[in-house]
């Protein structure tokens, strides 16, 4: 730190007093010391030393993103399967990536010994065994892929660990960083939302083959674990959590959920793909708005499409092929004559959609380096509402479509069995 910077901090007369000045000095000295000690040279910009746990589909995508973030340095990769950690394979997903200076680990304990600043957790949601909590307790910042767990008690324990230790934590809801979705948020900010509707028709065959040897772990023989209920927690939990989180981004917190699933016929279950073929879920928001999420995952159809609509009390907003479009009347009311239908269409000024995985990675790296999560579009703590809402949908279906209040789901004894992780 230069003497000028130090003098400026020490002479600060802000209302935070001497403790703020001490904290600022500590942060500046820590960043500069870290930069020097890791490179053996003079003062340079500090980089975040990152480890990735799980080099499957999302882990590889995050590796590629981190490889392109100047402030990040990938120093450790951890995966139990050696074939996932070869440089040849890694380069197929992260062009130009080199294992030079990167520690290869097959056990989490090895990764913790490397000397990290942050960890990405990109493992199947039912495979957590306390690793995230141990990382937080070591003071490591946390990026967790969604869903963070299939069990609420486990997710709540993770959240408590992150809060208790004060590390930066976030969850991979990268769709919040989409330029179109940001434009929707800004447009709706002063609107009274009435109803949000999401219809997604998907195919069972569109699930990708994963990189985990599920056939050795009691899972599907074809490694398509996202189609299996025990591994994915249902399509609502594994995939529907993304549109639900976007609804929260625009409409606020969910307070109740009600759901009915259409189970797959026994003869339609192939290679462990036993997730329901249809889902009808209703979410109630604190604001009074209601959202419906209708999903299908059909086999032997090979056709998928969708529909999205957001209604406020004086109009509709849709995500169209060219971008978000609002439909509303903004002339004198009552109108003096026939309303021109074409005049009701208002395309929103929206930025590029961009690489959202890169964008959320950049945001996390900057937040972790600063030790401040306030600029994140979602923290681990704020993301708990999305997780409890989709896990609550499972509970509602299992209880015959009962309305589940999320406040009760998180703590009431009557839901204890649904929150608990087996074993």
pLDDT at 122 over 70: yes
Do 221 and 146 lie in a common domain?
no
pLDDT at 3 over 50: no
Q: Which of 119, 144, 171 is the last residue of a domain?
A: 171
Do 165 and 181 lie in a common domain?
no
pLDDT more than 90, % of the chain: 89
Indicate the pairing of strand 103-105 with strand 72-78: parallel
Q: Average pLDDT over the chain, rounded to whole?
A: 92
| Three-class DSSP category at 195 | strand
pLDDT at position 423 is: 85
pLDDT at position 326 is: 99
Residues 207-259: tens digit of each pLDDT: 999 999 999 999 999 999 999 999 999 999 999 999 999 999 999 999 999 99
For residue 320, the enclosing domain spans 176-352+381-419
Kindly tell me the number of DSSP H helices and DSSP E strands found in the chain.
15, 15
pLDDT at 42 over 50: no
Do 77 and 184 lie in a common domain?
no
Residue owning tokens 């406020």 = 312
Does residue 368 sit within a domain?
Answer: no
Q: Please answer whether residues 230 and 238 qualify as being in contact, where contact means their C-beta atoms are separated by less than 8 angstroms.
A: no
E strands in 47-140: 48-53, 72-78, 103-105, 118-121
Task: Give the mean pLDDT of 26-53.
Answer: 58
| Residue that wins the pLDDT comparison between 5 and 107 | 107
CATH number at residue 15: 3.40.50.720
pLDDT at 5 over 50: no
CATH number at residue 314: 3.30.360.10
pLDDT at 193 over 90: yes
Residue owning tokens 């495979």 = 127
Do 183 and 61 lie in a common domain?
no
What is d(CA 340, CA 265) in angstroms, rounded to the nearest whole number?
Answer: 49
pLDDT more than 70, % of the chain: 90
Does residue 367 sit within a domain?
Answer: no
What's the predicted TM-score (pTM) here? Answer: 0.89
pLDDT at position 25 is: 33
Does residue 365 sit within a domain?
Answer: no
Is the link from the previous residue into 334 a cis peptide, with omega within 30 of 0?
Answer: yes
Q: How many CA atoms lie within 13 A of 336 on its CB side?
A: 2
Task: Give the mean pLDDT of 52-60.
Answer: 99
Does residue 402 sit within a domain?
Answer: yes
Does residue 74 sit within a domain?
Answer: yes
pLDDT at position 8 is: 37
Q: Give the pLDDT band of residue 37 (cuts 50, 70, 90).
A: very low
Neighbour-count burial of 217, counting CB atoms closer than 10 A to its CB (0-12 exposed, 13-18 middle, 19+ buried): middle
| Residue that wins the pLDDT comparison between 282 and 35 | 282
Q: Please answer whether residues 32 and 1 qualify as being in contact, where contact means their C-beta atoms are separated by less than 8 angstroms.
A: yes
pLDDT at 64 over 70: yes
Written as one string, the DSSP assignment of 12-35 is ---TTHHHHHHHHHHHHHHHHHHH
pLDDT at position 45 is: 75
Do 43 and 185 lie in a common domain?
no
pLDDT at position 2 is: 37
pLDDT at 99 over 70: yes
Q: Please answer whether residues 256 and 406 qualify as being in contact, where contact means their C-beta atoms are separated by less than 8 angstroms.
A: yes
Do 109 and 191 lie in a common domain?
no
Residues 288-310: tens digit of each pLDDT: 999 999 999 999 999 999 999 99
Q: Which of 117, 140, 171 is the last residue of a domain?
A: 171
pLDDT at 202 over 50: yes
Q: Which of 314, 235, 244, 246 is nearest to 282 (CA)?
A: 244
Q: Which of 171, 191, 221 is the last residue of a domain?
A: 171
pLDDT at position 344 is: 98
Taking each helix axis from N to C end, the angle separating 17-39 and 3-10, rounded to the nearest 10 degrees, works out to 160
Task: State which H helix or E strand residue 278 sits in.
Answer: strand 278-285
Does residue 185 sit within a domain?
Answer: yes
pLDDT at position 337 is: 96
What is d(CA 206, CA 209) in angstroms, rounded to the nearest whole number?
Answer: 9
Do 235 and 340 lie in a common domain?
yes
What is the sign, positive or negative, of the torsion defined by CA atoms of 72, 78, 81, 82? positive
Do 56 and 192 lie in a common domain?
no
pLDDT at position 41 is: 43
3-state helix, strand, coil in the chain (%, to 5): 40, 20, 40
Q: Give the pLDDT band of residue 44 (cuts 50, 70, 90).
A: low
pLDDT at 316 over 60: yes
Residues 354-406: tens digit of each pLDDT: 999 999 999 999 999 999 999 999 999 999 999 999 999 999 999 999 999 99
Do 221 and 346 lie in a common domain?
yes
Do 89 and 229 lie in a common domain?
no
Residue owning tokens 């239908």 = 341
Do 346 and 326 lie in a common domain?
yes
Do 163 and 17 lie in a common domain?
yes
Count up the domains in the chain and report the number. Answer: 2
pLDDT at 120 over 70: yes
Does residue 140 sit within a domain?
Answer: yes
What is d(CA 252, CA 314) in angstroms, rounded to the nearest whole number?
Answer: 19
Q: Which of 45, 149, 207 is nearest to 419 (CA)?
A: 149
Does residue 86 sit within a domain?
Answer: yes
């Amino acid at each position: 730190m230069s003497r000028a910077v130090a003098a400026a901090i020490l002479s600060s007369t802000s209302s935070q007093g001497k403790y703020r000045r001490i904290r600022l000095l500590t942060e500046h000295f820590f960043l500069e010391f870290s930069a020097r000690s890791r490179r053996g040279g003079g003062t340079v910009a500090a980089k975040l030393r990152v480890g990735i746990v799980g080099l499957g589909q999302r882990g590889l995508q995050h590796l590629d993103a981190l490889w392109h973030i100047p402030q990040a340095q990938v120093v450790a990769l951890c995966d139990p399967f050696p074939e996932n950690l070869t440089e040849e394979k890694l380069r197929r997903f992260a062009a130009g990536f080199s294992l030079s200076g990167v520690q290869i680990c097959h056990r989490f304990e090895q990764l913790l010994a490397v000397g990290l600043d942050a960890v990405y957790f990109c493992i199947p949601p039912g495979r957590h065994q306390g690793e995230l909590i141990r990382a937080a307790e070591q003071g490591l910042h946390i990026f967790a892929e969604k869903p963070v767990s299939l069990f609420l008690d486990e997710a709540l324990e993770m959240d408590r660990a992150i809060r208790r230790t004060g590390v930066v934590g976030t969850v991979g809801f990268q769709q919040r960083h989409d330029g179109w979705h940001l434009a929707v948020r800004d447009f709706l900010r002063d609107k009274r939302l009435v109803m949000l509707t999401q219809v997604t028709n998907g195919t069972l065959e569109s699930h990708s083959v994963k990189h985990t040897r599920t056939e050795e772990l009691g899972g599907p023989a074809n490694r398509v674990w996202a189609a299996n209920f025990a591994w994915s927690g249902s399509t609502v939990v594994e995939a529907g959590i993304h549109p639900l989180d976007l609804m929260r981004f625009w409409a606020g917190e969910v307070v109740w959920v009600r759901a009915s699933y259409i189970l797959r016929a026994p003869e339609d279950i192939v290679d462990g793909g036993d997730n329901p073929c249809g889902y009808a879920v209703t979410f109630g928001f604190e604001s009074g708005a209601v959202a419906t999420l209708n999903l299908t995952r059909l086999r032997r159809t090979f056709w998928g499409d969708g529909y999205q609509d957001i209604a406020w009390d004086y109009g509709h907003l849709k995500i169209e092929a060219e971008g978000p479009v609002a439909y509303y009347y903004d002339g004198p009311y009552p109108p003096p004559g026939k309303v021109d239908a074409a005049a009701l269409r208002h395309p929103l000024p929206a930025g590029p959609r961009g690489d959202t995985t890169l964008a959320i990675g950049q945001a996390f790296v900057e937040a972790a380096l600063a030790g401040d999560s306030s600029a994140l579009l979602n923290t681990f703590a704020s993301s708990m509402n999305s997780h409890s809402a989709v896990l609550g949908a499972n509970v509602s279906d299992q209880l015959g479509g009962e309305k589940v209040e999320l406040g009760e789901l998180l703590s009431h004894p009557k839901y204890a069995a649904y929150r608990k992780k087996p074993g």
